[in-house]
Amino acid sequence: MKSRSGYAYIAPLSLWMGLLLLAPIGIILSYSFLKRGLYGGVSNQITLEAYQQLWSPLYAKVFLNTLLLSGIATVIMILMAIPTAYFMARSKRKTLWLFLIIIPFWTNFLIRIYAWIAILGNNGIVNQCLLRVGWIDQPLRLLYNPLSVILVLVYTYLPFAILPLFSTIEKFDFSLLEAARDLGATRFQAFYKVLIPAIKSGIFSALLFCFIPAFGQYAVPALVGDSRSYMMGNIIARELTITRNWPLSAAISTLLTLATLFALMVFVIQGSRPARVKPIE
């Protein structure tokens, strides 16, 4: 009876996941193996033409550029999130810091991007302040370049790195750091060889939550980037809406989905391994 009731409990969730997750993925996967229609869309002809087009040097360049931008942004987010989460976990005002971290989510995503345009634009706050102080004679080009894309990506997804790291560090026994210091370790050695291995699961979670959405980002490079910061999400949108090459956009989406599943598998494997504290020399 208990097993039957258990199936009854998970049936609505399974149906929901099947309809809203597996079914769209199945449609995208099937479209990637169809031939492009004469006036857009797809025709009922199975082919690998969409995947063959992915070998174009243009798409390889955009893929590497996407990997570079999202990778740099993710590394910056992790380096910023670890000390921030550590400070929050040791603070007596954890609720206040969590509240401040979550506040940006109360504002629409596009509004936050346009706020950065108002800050970094030629007539933005930064350039106007520098001009009035006399440090520059003409506005600096702070927008529409790869650096602005990385900056906005870091701002957008940094909370997704801080929250899982905070949850992990909060459970850490901080007396281990004091014991390491008593055994002769420096503050950095105790932090690197004791704390970092113990919060490995939180680091992998932060990597996953930041890299995957940054890798598939569309709005940020479209609004604050230029041709040098074109990403795979922009390619998917262009092929879907402008050239109406649905099989090609579906093939790119399928590869991104497979990359996401691979990252999830790595995360599960790494998370299942016990943390090993490095010996302090």
227-237 pLDDT tens trace: 888 888 888 88
Q: Among 1.20.1250.20, 1.10.3720.10, 3.40.50.800, 1.10.1060.10, what is the CATH number of 57-272?
A: 1.10.3720.10
- What pLDDT score was predicted for residue 41? 76
- Residue length of the chain: 281
Q: Where are the beta strands (DSSP E) in the chain?
A: 34-36, 42-46
The percentage of residues in the chain with a pLDDT greater than 90, rounded to a whole number, is 19
Between 281 and 62, whose confidence is greater? 62
Helix (H) or strand (E) holding 269: helix 246-272
Q: Is residue 85 predicted with pLDDT exceeding 60?
A: yes
Domain locations in the chain as residue ranges: 57-272
Structure tokens at 163: 């929250």
Report the distance separating Cα 153 and Cα 79, nearest Å: 14
In this prediction the pTM is: 0.84
Instruction: Report the distance separating Cα 99 and Cα 166, nearest Å.
Output: 13
pLDDT per residue over 136-158, tens digit each? 888 888 899 999 999 999 999 99
Say how far apart CA 67 and CA 156 lie, in whole Å: 17
